[in-house]
Amino acid sequence: MDQKEIRVTFPGGLRVNAEYRGMVIATDQPVYAGGEGSAPAPFDLFLASIATCAGYYVLAFCKQRGLATDGIFLTVSMEKGQVSRMIENIKIDIHLPEDFPDKYLEAVVRAADQCTVKAHILNPPKIEVKAVKG
């Protein structure tokens, strides 16, 4: 099994940083939740990872076919369940310019649908949590 490690540190307040591959991914809680709002909340990054992953697949699709990406953007919206208060539906819209070739409309949707973040949500990994001293 290929193991990757992310180191999580606490730089102050309600900020939590993840250090991975020489980069620091900063998070904070919103002001209304007691944080400073200085960075996205962890759940915001979860949602953004779905959006940017789908976006990457759209970008790769266009690049492979020599299609310009000017005017292309994605919007992602979420619906929470009234009882569960959990997100129960995520909708990704790929906005395309008028001159985008009709023959690629379904294919670009299939490309975005290949997002590996989505694949991991649909087939979730086992998550173990343990305390380690020392």
pTM for this predicted structure: 0.89
Q: Is the pLDDT of residue 130 over 70?
A: yes
- Mean pLDDT score across all residues of the chain: 96
Q: Domain 41-124 class?
A: alpha beta
Distance (Å, rounded) from C-alpha 98 to C-alpha 87? Answer: 32
Instruction: Please tell me the distance from the alpha carbon of residue 122 to that of residue 29, in angstroms, as a whole number.
Output: 27
Domain boundaries, the chain: 1-40, 41-124
Looking at the chain, the whole-number percentage of residues with pLDDT higher than 70 is 98
Tens-place pLDDT, residues 45-92: 999 999 999 999 999 999 999 999 999 999 999 999 999 999 999 999
pLDDT of amino acid 3 = 65
pLDDT-derived band at 2 (thresholds 50, 70, 90) equals low
Tell me which residue has tokens 């492979």. Answer: 64
